[in-house]
Amino acid sequence: MKYASQRVAYPFFIAAMALFLGQVLFGLVAGAIYFWPNFMAEIMPFHIVRMSHTNLLLVWLLIGFFGATYYLLPEEAETEIYSPKLAYLQLAIFVFAGAAALVSYQFGIHEGREFLEQPTWIKLLLTISFLMFLFNASMTLKKGRRTAISVVLLMGLWLAAIFWLFAFYNPSNLSLDKMYWWYVVHLWVEGVWGLIMASLLAYLLIRMTGVDREIIEKWLYVIVGLVLFSGLLGTGHHYYWIGTPGYWKPIGSFFSALEVLPLFTMVIFAFYMFWRGSRNHPNKSAVLWTLGCTVTAFFGAGVWGFMHTLSAVNYYSHGTQITAAHGHLAFYGAYVMLNLSIMAYALPQLRGKQPYNQILNMWSFWLMTGGMAFMTFTLTFAGIIQTHMQRVIGEQYMATQDYLQLFFGMRLGAGVVVCIGALLYVYAMLGPAREQLPAGPAHVAVGATS
Amino acid sequence: MIESLSRNAARNIFFGGSLFFFAIFIGLTAHSHFYIVNESTDKEGLTASVARGKQVWEEHSCINCHTILGEGAYFAPELGNVWKRYGGEQSPEGARMALKTWIRMQPTGIEGRRQMPAFDISDEDLDALIDFLEWTSRIDTQGWPPTIAG
Ligand code: HEM
Ligand SMILES: [Fe+2]
């Protein structure tokens, strides 16, 4: 860690991990309700559990992105953060807003669009905090060196904030509402968050492989180009059945199918750079998370996304457990693992230690990733049966669900494993640091501080 | 292939191409906006009551259990076509009564069956909600869902 103000990232990462644990806990409760339908039905009905689960996810991912930005920006821009105080204040507002949303949900106070349930005043607080962050980061960049990584990262974050503004637009025409709702949801995860993901990966790869910046940044531009060329018009895969014109069927099918390309390129990018690089970075668990992130994102977003993205398939699978399967592995692979990679890389340096608790950390990787993969398989099987019974044969929804009970049971089991993995991760990162380096010659310790 | 490309060329392709696709995207959604308002949804039918019904729908966050036009949670039945499923096209009064009674009956408390909470909704709001569901069932959805089950 070269710059003192990189420390700003530390409380962001701690907050992110705390909310992450909350997220998986609510997930576990939701999974339990699927299996035991009467579970907590009076105290906390399913809709409250679900909005808590999804909102916590989005809030902690954003806090993680903020922290990652504060962490890498001084190194990239070769200057201290413009105002660490502003950063702490901004974090406090964001965490407060997230917590306030969570509490108000328990009292039935919420708005009613998926993922955008925050009461308006909380949305405003989130916006203010986001703008404070953007100001702080942009001012830092302005006074320092401008690299492709920092420019693409900030562009992604600025655009994310701009598309977020559509959360404030809620027309009474349901079809219009839905069309612009996807401006936030799809243009985030399959658009501008792709810029954030690719630039954070590029940063990790520069640090951990030692490959020339010139080469990495060229790959970065190619990848983000592929993300937006496919992802913008790829929004059309949500415009098949909501009252939008028929031309979205060919356009959405074609461009969203191409969305697999940037995801695949990211896998090649990460593996190729590690193969090519000369550095043998000692933080093996961060390497594992980084490689695992690209692979899992490719399967969750790329393969599972492609599976139901063509309009002829989506006609049958739209809004079934297949969607749920994809949503889980895509978010986990692309954005959860991305944040966990950055934290695994940065925390030893923030705590001023050599990489520690490596084996424990790798256990958490395999438990969480294995659990999420298993959950995705069970939901996919459930979704196939549901699709066939409900969409082909025409059986009533509630009747089809009775046949899925076995899969919901296995899904709950997978959720338990994921929760154990998440707890282990947080313990490995924040708990007492024991040196756990893989056996090997002493050279692995070289570069530990870079 | 990537070897022969320089970083600056890659950057220019990224910025130029993104602007190009963004412009097309904006153009198409502008047209879709126009299409929705004038063709696929019932402009005259979007009464104050339908608008209020959408608010009622949102106040109770029905979407975090149900889907509507296939979007939402996947925990409870699709409601985009529930009006048709209840026979609203043949007998509007019967469907309205049946839907209202159903909502008022919750929760069933049946062991092993997913529960819908009891909602405290006034009669007027409940009518607005049904108006909203009825209006929604008439959106031109390109023939989706494949079966009346939703
Ligand atoms: C990291 C990237 C991605 C994330 C985080 C993600 C996440 C999600 C989520 C959460 C949903 C459900 C939205 C809802 O609640 O209605 C969804 C739907 C969908 N996603 Fe993705 N996705 C990603 C990438 C992709 C890609 C690359 C494709 C296509 C190749 C794709 C295809 C789809 C389709 C077709 C749907 C609609 C499913 C339906 O009709 O019910 N996604 N995605
Ligand atoms: Fe999408």
Give the whole-angstrom CA distance, residue B56 versus residue B62: 9
Q: Which of A394, A443, A347, A368 is nearest to A64 (CA)?
A: A347
What is the mean predicted confidence (pLDDT) over A126-138?
98
CA of A237 to the centre of ligand 1 (A): 9
Residues from chain A that touch B2, judged by Cβ atoms under 8 A, are: 218-219, 222
Distance from the Cα of B43 to chain A's closest Cα (Å) equals 9
Nearest to B77 among A221, A321, A398 (CB): A398
List, in sequence order, the alpha helices (H) in A235-310: 248-258, 260-276, 284-297, 304-307
A218 touches chain B (CB under 8 A): yes
**Which residue minimizes the CA distance to atom 29 of ligand 1?**
A305
For A290-309, what is each residue's pLDDT tens digit? 999 999 999 999 999 999 99
Per the listing, tokens 């282990």 go with A424
For residue A240, the ligand 1 atom closest to its alpha carbon is 40
Residue A135 reports pLDDT greater than 80: yes
Q: Any residues with CB less than 8 A from the CB of A44 and at least 6 apart, and which?
A: A29, A106
Query: Are B149 and A50 an interchain contact pair (Cβ–Cβ within 8 Å)?
Result: no
B79 touches chain A (CB under 8 A): no
Nearest to B21 among A229, A238, A315 (CB): A229
Q: Any residues with CB less than 8 A from the CB of B34 and at least 6 apart, and which?
A: none
For residue A197, the ligand 1 atom closest to its alpha carbon is 1
Distance from the Cα of B105 to chain A's closest Cα (Å) equals 15
Give the whole-angstrom CA distance, residue B90 versus residue A309: 35
For A176-196, what is each residue's pLDDT tens digit? 999 999 999 999 999 999 999
Give the whole-angstrom CA distance, residue B44 versus residue B31: 20
Q: Looking at this predicted complex, what is its ipTM?
A: 0.97
List, in sequence order, the alpha helices (H) in A36-119: 46-77, 84-106
Three-state SS annotation for A55-66: HHHHHHHHHHHH
CA of A238 to the centre of ligand 2 (A): 6
pLDDT of residue A97: 98
- Site to probe by mutation for ligand 1, drawn from A223, A303, A323 as the one with most ligand atoms within 8 Å of Cβ, is A323
- Site to probe by mutation for ligand 1, drawn from A263, A326, A336, A387 as the one with most ligand atoms within 8 Å of Cβ, is A326
**Mean pLDDT for chain A?**
96
For A94-121, what is each residue's pLDDT tens digit? 999 999 999 999 999 999 999 999 999 9
For residue B71, the ligand 1 atom closest to its alpha carbon is 16
Residue A450 reports pLDDT greater than 50: no
Residue of B nearest to A316 (CA): B146
Residue A442 reports pLDDT greater than 70: no
